[in-house]
């Protein structure tokens, strides 16, 4: 088949969001005057439609991809469905069908994002009739210098879980009144820097601070309860706040268990663990595996010398440092920092040659 034996290249796939950001994405695309806008995310190897209230008629979210050096675009979801066992593997297709079962994004925040919470997979299946919740993970790529976001906001932090949990009635009153000081007082700021990795289980209230450029890895859904209604001058329509339900439903999504500093270190921050020694100063680390979640996996490869690697699993590869030449099927592709490709499960061995070194993330579906 003509699509076999080729890398799947992933051009930018910008998606509208309710908050401003994306200046870093514009700079990477070569914009002469990069600015923040509502196109704050780039969805990578996505077969998931974005849910944007009031924009339902605009198809966005599903990636348009290229096969090797062929410039013709392909709808990623249609491509997967055309040969699912080659792209995703027989075991994956038997369990999940022609769905990657993971959604990966570049996210570049020009302001602090809304306070929000996502359902767990169990809640999504039991209450919403949806196959996936939205456990997610962050791998930080860069933090903007102070002063490079609108309004002089602080940069480089996240809120994760309630350090001082309110009772549900108190939180409900604060949400209805939009008492942001009371909501923010439930959290501590967690500083972040390039290279940090965090996991945010479904049900965990959170917010990403301004000025963070990161890879987000998550279950393939766009389910969210936003309990803050305005960011960057945009006021959420009511239908986009609580998934078109009421505040009492929203409260049922929350995990009110306190997350103190020790619990944050143990359950939220992800430390690299050696997975494979590739020799010659090269290694593959596990960032997120079964110890953190069964929803997806994340690895990081450090390559200091040429190597031939074959994952035999569907893999989203994102170069995070340096450059590497990937050779497969008689084609050669130079991948630069922040380039990204999809490796089909049936692709076979790929020869990687770093120049002079390279690092990349590998984002994979559940084992």
pLDDT digits (tens, 9 = 90+) for 123-162: 999 999 999 999 999 999 999 998 889 888 999 999 999 9
The 8-class DSSP code of residue 241 comes to T
Same domain, 317 and 336: yes
Residues 89 and 312: their CA atoms lie apart, in Å, by: 8
Same domain, 161 and 220: yes
Structure tokens at 99: 């769905």
Residues 192 and 112: their CA atoms lie apart, in Å, by: 13
Mean pLDDT of 245-261: 97
Residue recorded with tokens 């930018």? 12
Cα distances (Å, whole numbers) of residue 40 to 26, 70, 305: 9, 28, 35
Which of 3-7, 52-56, 136-140 has the highest mean predicted lDDT (pLDDT)?
Answer: 136-140
Same domain, 217 and 261: yes
- Domain-terminating residue out of 206, 236, 267: 267
Higher per-residue confidence, 3 vs 29 = 29
Strand partners, 351: 308, 327
Is 357 part of a structural domain of the chain?
yes
The answer to whether 202 and 296 have CB atoms below 8 angstroms apart is no
For residue range 85-113, list pLDDT tens digits in order. 999 999 999 999 999 999 999 999 999 99
- Which CATH number goes with the domain that contains 111? 2.60.120.10
Q: For residue 56, is pLDDT > 80?
A: no
So what's the pLDDT on residue 57? Answer: 80
The whole-model pTM stands at 0.96
The answer to whether 359 and 322 have CB atoms below 8 angstroms apart is yes
Same domain, 262 and 334: no
Is 2 part of a structural domain of the chain?
no
Is 1 part of a structural domain of the chain?
no
- Domain-terminating residue out of 235, 267, 299: 267
Same domain, 284 and 252: no
Structure tokens at 340: 């990204």
Is 232 part of a structural domain of the chain?
yes
Same domain, 219 and 256: yes
Cα distances (Å, whole numbers) of residue 57 to 50, 54, 225: 11, 8, 22
Q: How many CB atoms lie within 10 A of CB 246?
A: 10
Structure tokens at 148: 């490079």
Mean of all residue pLDDT scores within the chain: 96
Cα distances (Å, whole numbers) of residue 151 to 111, 155, 190, 191, 206: 9, 11, 21, 19, 21
- Domain-terminating residue out of 203, 234, 267: 267
Q: For residue 2, is pLDDT > 80?
A: no
Is 97 part of a structural domain of the chain?
yes
Mean pLDDT of 36-42: 96
Three-class SS of residue 267? helix
Residues 105 and 272: their CA atoms lie apart, in Å, by: 20
For residue range 296-353, list pLDDT tens digits in order. 999 999 999 999 998 789 999 999 999 999 999 999 999 999 999 999 999 999 999 9
Same domain, 106 and 136: yes
Task: Give residue 273's pLDDT band: very low, low, confident or very high (50, 70, 90).
Answer: very high
Number of domains in the chain: 2
Q: For residue 55, is pLDDT > 90?
A: no
Same domain, 235 and 324: no
Task: Give residue 178's pLDDT band: very low, low, confident or very high (50, 70, 90).
Answer: very high
Q: For residue 224, is pLDDT > 70?
A: yes
The answer to whether 34 and 148 have CB atoms below 8 angstroms apart is no
Same domain, 120 and 91: yes
Domain span holding position 321: 273-364
Same domain, 324 and 260: no
Structure tokens at 37: 């806008």
Is 101 part of a structural domain of the chain?
yes
Q: For residue 242, is pLDDT > 90?
A: yes
Q: How many CB atoms lie within 10 A of CB 61?
A: 21
Residue recorded with tokens 């976001």? 149
So what's the pLDDT on residue 52? Answer: 82
Same domain, 175 and 312: no
Residues 295 and 280: their CA atoms lie apart, in Å, by: 32
Indicate left, alpha or beta for 303 from its phi (over 0: left) and psi (-120 to 50: alpha).
beta
Is 292 part of a structural domain of the chain?
yes
Same domain, 321 and 255: no
So what's the pLDDT on residue 212? Answer: 98
Task: Give residue 1's pLDDT band: very low, low, confident or very high (50, 70, 90).
Answer: low
Residues 158 and 148: their CA atoms lie apart, in Å, by: 17
Is 109 part of a structural domain of the chain?
yes
Mean pLDDT of 226-251: 95
So what's the pLDDT on residue 247? Answer: 98
So what's the pLDDT on residue 150? Answer: 81
């Amino acid at each position: 088949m003509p699509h076999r034996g080729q890398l799947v290249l992933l051009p930018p796939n910008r998606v509208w969001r309710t908050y401003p950001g994306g200046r870093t994405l514009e700079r990477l695309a070569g914009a002469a005057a990069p600015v923040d806008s509502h196109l704050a995310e780039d969805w990578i190897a996505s077969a998931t439609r974005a849910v944007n209230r009031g924009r339902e008629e605009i198809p966005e979210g599903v990636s348009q991809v290229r096969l090797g050096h062929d410039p013709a675009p392909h709808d990623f979801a249609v491509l997967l469905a055309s040969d699912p066992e080659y792209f995703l593997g027989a075991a994956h297709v038997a369990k999940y069908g022609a769905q990657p079962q993971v959604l990966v994004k570049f996210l570049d925040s020009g302001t602090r994002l809304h306070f929000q919470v996502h359902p767990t997979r169990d809640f999504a299946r039991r209450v919403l009739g949806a196959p996936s919740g939205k456990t997610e993970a962050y791998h930080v790529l860069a933090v903007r210098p102070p002063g490079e976001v609108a309004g002089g906001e602080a940069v480089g932090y996240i809120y994760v879980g309630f350090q001082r949990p309110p009772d549900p009635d108190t939180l409900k009153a604060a949400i209805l009144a939009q008492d942001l000081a009371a909501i923010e007082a439930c959290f501590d700021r967690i500083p972040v820097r390039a290279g940090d990795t965090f996991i945010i289980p479904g049900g965990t209230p959170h917010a990403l601070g301004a000025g963070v450029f990161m890879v987000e890895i998550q279950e393939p859904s766009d389910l969210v309860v936003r309990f803050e209604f305005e960011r960057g001058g945009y006021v959420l329509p009511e239908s986009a706040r609580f998934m078109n339900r009421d505040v009492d439903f929203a409260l049922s999504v929350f995990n009110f268990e306190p997350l103190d500093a020790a619990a944050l270190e143990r359950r939220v921050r992800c430390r690299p663990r050696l997975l494979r020694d590739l020799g010659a100063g090269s290694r593959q680390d596990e960032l997120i595996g079964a110890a953190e979640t069964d929803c997806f996996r994340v690895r990081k490869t450090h390559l200091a010398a040429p190597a031939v690697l074959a994952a035999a699993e569907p893999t989203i590869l994102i170069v995070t440092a340096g450059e590497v030449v990937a050779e497969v099927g008689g084609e050669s592709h130079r991948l630069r920092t922040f380039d990204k490709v999809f490796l089909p499960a049936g692709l076979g061995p790929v020869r990687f040659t770093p120049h002079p070194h390279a690092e990349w993330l590998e984002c994979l579906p559940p084992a």
